A and B are shown apart, each in its own frame.
Chain A
């Protein structure tokens, strides 16, 4: 097979970073996985070329855990590094910077993540690890810091209301997921943020930032033994705790299928989406990845790019993305077009989705897409940042160590029937939500411009 030959050649040319794994056939970086304490999974890739280490601690502590107070997970993540142990935010920052380290925190819809990047020299790595231990296990959450971050989030939320696309995305998730926790916006809501304080944040941390609810991804200039010691230090820094309880299954029906919001912008934001795929549903995942690439994931060669931009000059950016989450995540289609051309654009977008659902893909398109996706795989594991990103997906979903190595064979196995089956099973137009935000959206009888 030509493709594998090429990949083998690429693997041979590469250094230890891209060793072919034991099972000869698959291609990918050598991922090591072990169980840390309290059932926390640890993933590690040894990368010796640069004197640096990336450590990511992933917690099941995203906005899906906000409960009745949207913004809680986000506020906890933001305040985590605003002081720890006997250090205030400034002192913590100074100590990190003195050893050339960087620390960042974030909370998404499902996971929260704490990311340390450090020089690998042992004194520097030891010092930065010690600071990360304090951040994970003994954050201060003092009233003033929590209040300051809460107000910053409130302001960011006000700024979000300036953007038609932000409003559309928020509305889309609300319509797709209804009462399900995935509907909760990671940036919070006004009411949610209003009710938060240091006690709530500290309680959220105590419950969710625990070893049993964590996994760790490490990439860089250290060996297995050092990586094990590093992971153990971080897990030890947290309370043992319990894993977060399972979330309910996402609803099978959307709350509503069309949302139109009047908004004074020069462009109308259009979004469509429906929950289609959960992590682990690999029989469907790879066919849907191929379908998404052809529809709107493939940049300049996608159908949406062709029909919206090349053929009609309707839009600068039209794309689709497959958001694979631990529970069923959405297929999203998005575009922005000149106000007044919203209906025309919607017709084109809907037409493309209908065509995909009805006709699937032809074999030529499948070949080109599979060739691209397998050929592009090395790009997604070519440097430490990319590897750390991949490992954090593995860690968040506790995937097997050979997950990356199976990517290419799984992608190559995708055929017309698999795509047909995946589309039939998941691309249900009747359940697809459409959102329009712009100045023209209330008037459905808008006159269409000639293309």
Chain B
């Protein structure tokens, strides 16, 4: 088998060609809209994504779910188009369009033949400032949102449990609210509130347009000027404060038993900084590598030791997304195998985290983790939507799209000592929330 040193050379070669394709072209309109373009001339298609820097992380009670509700209303009519026309026009041109809402952003996208990009821009610019909020449409759409909530959160026991776990793990941050909103808030949301939310956050200076595909950057900037240039600048408001207030809030536990659940589930979440809130960016990358050591591939520690070795878990995963505006969670989720209980599993997971604190990772294991991450960078070049998403997420969390180009350098800079240091600082019991989902009795 090829020795690692050789491999690193192979990867360098692959990454060099990937990095060359990864150039980002940047332009800012007078009204504040940022436009980012990456070229990918395969296939003659383009992904166009408009990111508004607003999401459930900007919300508070009793208007949780409002960003998501506005996203739904964005598919209704504008001053110049009736409801449904947007989707019909894009479909007619062979395109796909949809939207999503998350904690830090609300995104709208079109995927279509590259020579149809202008249509997407025209329509997207229109609904940036000329959306119509109609009361009857709103009533019906709220019914749809209730169905979406039932489907996504109320029916799957894991999602219901996760909603409560999240609300417990985030003590002072708006990340404690579900993206779709609390049921009680959805029951009372008003059309006027949606319209005000739209007026307040849907301004060019609070948005980023990302275009990846078979396009010339200058041409994209021209089209953006033509269509988005007409949108009034409005006022850009800073996002609300929402960082966790205590560095070590204390260990918390939540246990739920659902009659309709069939399989137990365990959540562990540590309050940790994101790339936006970390004192040093290196801390976030060290946390990323820590998650990678636990669960970055089939050979990582959780599958190797908990699922295969000890056979304690049927599944065990770890996750940390550094791309967040506010403090976030380093989380572990696992299901016990038959014959093992949640106590055993919790001890095993905590032991794994303890190992990150106590033992420096061996060079070969760290190098493998870095190889996995960097190979993934090469593979990520294959997906225009994925590339657009990476830039959009970085831009809308305030981290800045430029960070995408430092990824390789930052990942390579992480040392075994860094991982130990962040594990000692952040992955400690006073920052931990444990959530348990217990099934009902079998009939």
User: Is B96's CB under 8 angstroms from A299's CB?
Assistant: yes
Nearest chain B residue, comparing its CB with the CB of A381: B43
User: Which B1-34 residues sit within 8 Å CB-CB of chain A?
Assistant: 1-2, 4, 6-7, 10-11, 13-14, 17-18, 21
> Knowing A159-B263, A316-B148, A382-B44 touch, does A100 contact B7 (C-beta < 8 A)?
yes
User: Is A316's CB under 8 angstroms from B42's CB?
Assistant: no
User: Is A97's CB under 8 angstroms from B298's CB?
Assistant: yes
Instruction: For the complex, give the distance between the alpha carbons of A243 and B375 in Å.
Output: 36
> Knowing A151-B338, A375-B94 touch, does A94 contact B87 (C-beta < 8 A)?
no
User: Which B43-82 residues sit within 8 Å CB-CB of chain A?
Assistant: 43-45, 75
Measured as residues with beta carbon below 8 angstroms from the partner, the interface class of chain B is: 35 or more
A-B pairs with beta carbons under 8 A, tally: 246
User: Is A300's CB under 8 angstroms from B42's CB?
Assistant: no
**Residue A265 at the chain B interface, CB threshold 8 Å:** yes
User: Is A121's CB under 8 angstroms from B13's CB?
Assistant: yes
User: Which A385-412 residues sit within 8 Å CB-CB of chain B?
Assistant: 385
User: Which B335-390 residues sit within 8 Å CB-CB of chain A?
Assistant: 335, 337-338, 368, 371-372, 374-375, 378-379, 381-384
User: Is A158's CB under 8 angstroms from B263's CB?
Assistant: yes
User: Is B299's CB under 8 angstroms from A93's CB?
Assistant: yes
User: Is A368's CB under 8 angstroms from B92's CB?
Assistant: yes
Nearest chain A residue, comparing its CB with the CB of B338: A151
**Residue B424 at the chain A interface, CB threshold 8 Å:** no
Contact with A along B284-314 (1 / 0, CB 8 A): 0000000000000111000110011001001
Which segment of B108-116, B166-174, B247-255, B396-404 sits at the interface?
A: B108-116
User: Is B315's CB under 8 angstroms from A384's CB?
Assistant: no
Q: Least Cβ distance of B333 to chain A in Å?
A: 13
Instruction: For the complex, give the distance between the alpha carbons of A382 and B382 in Å.
Output: 9
Number of interface residues of A (CB under 8 A): 85
**Residue B406 at the chain A interface, CB threshold 8 Å:** no
Interface centre among A314, A375, A379 (most CB of B within 10 A): A379
**Residue B420 at the chain A interface, CB threshold 8 Å:** no
List of A residues within 8 angstroms of B88 by Cβ: 301, 368
> Knowing A121-B14, A151-B338 touch, does A11 contact B263 (C-beta < 8 A)?
no
List of B residues within 8 angstroms of A267 by Cβ: 147, 150-151, 154-155
Q: Least Cβ distance of A289 to chain B in Å?
A: 14
**Residue A17 at the chain B interface, CB threshold 8 Å:** yes
User: Is A377's CB under 8 angstroms from B96's CB?
Assistant: no
**Residue B195 at the chain A interface, CB threshold 8 Å:** no
Contact with A along B116-139 (1 / 0, CB 8 A): 000000000000000000000001
User: Is B378's CB under 8 angstroms from A162's CB?
Assistant: no
Q: Least Cβ distance of B132 to chain A in Å?
A: 15
**Residue B157 at the chain A interface, CB threshold 8 Å:** yes
**Residue B41 at the chain A interface, CB threshold 8 Å:** yes
List of A residues within 8 angstroms of B155 by Cβ: 163-164, 265-267
Contact with B along A134-154 (1 / 0, CB 8 A): 000000000001001001101
User: Is B96's CB under 8 angstroms from A379's CB?
Assistant: yes
Nearest chain B residue, comparing its CB with the CB of A315: B147
User: Is A17's CB under 8 angstroms from B42's CB?
Assistant: yes
**Residue B428 at the chain A interface, CB threshold 8 Å:** no
**Residue A376 at the chain B interface, CB threshold 8 Å:** yes
List of A residues within 8 angstroms of B94 by Cβ: 371-379
Q: Least Cβ distance of A409 to chain B in Å?
A: 16
User: Is A383's CB under 8 angstroms from B383's CB?
Assistant: yes
> Knowing A121-B14, A316-B151 touch, does A159 contact B262 (C-beta < 8 A)?
yes
Q: Least Cβ distance of B45 to chain A in Å?
A: 4
**Residue A229 at the chain B interface, CB threshold 8 Å:** no
Main SS of the interface on chain A? helix
**Residue B144 at the chain A interface, CB threshold 8 Å:** yes
List of B residues within 8 angstroms of A161 by Cβ: 262
Which segment of A46-54, A253-261, A353-361 sits at the interface?
A: A46-54
List of A residues within 8 angstroms of B308 by Cβ: 82, 89-90, 145, 148
**Residue B199 at the chain A interface, CB threshold 8 Å:** no
User: Is A162's CB under 8 angstroms from B261's CB?
Assistant: yes
Instruction: For the complex, give the distance between the alpha carbons of A101 and B384 in Å.
Output: 21
**Residue A195 at the chain B interface, CB threshold 8 Å:** no
List of B residues within 8 angstroms of A249 by Cβ: none
User: Is A266's CB under 8 angstroms from B150's CB?
Assistant: yes
Instruction: For the complex, give the distance between the alpha carbons of A338 and B145 in Å.
Output: 11
Interface centre among B44, B150, B298 (most CB of A within 10 A): B44
**Residue B98 at the chain A interface, CB threshold 8 Å:** yes
Q: Least Cβ distance of B92 to chain A in Å?
A: 6
* Contacts from B to A (Cβ < 8 Å): 1-2, 4, 6-7, 10-11, 13-14, 17-18, 21, 41-45, 75, 83-84, 87-88, 91-98, 111-115, 139-148, 150-151, 154-157, 214, 259-263, 297-299, 303-304, 307-308, 311, 314-315, 335, 337-338, 368, 371-372, 374-375, 378-379, 381-384
A-B contact pairs, 30 of them (CB 8 A): A13-B41, A13-B44, A14-B41, A14-B42, A18-B44, A49-B21, A50-B381, A50-B382, A51-B17, A52-B14, A90-B304, A93-B298, A99-B7, A100-B372, A121-B10, A151-B314, A155-B335, A299-B96, A300-B87, A301-B88, A313-B147, A316-B151, A337-B147, A372-B91, A373-B94, A376-B95, A378-B45, A379-B94, A379-B95, A382-B45
10 interchain residue pairs of minimum CB distance = A375-B94, A100-B375, A382-B43, A313-B143, A93-B298, A93-B299, A300-B87, A10-B44, A316-B148, A313-B140
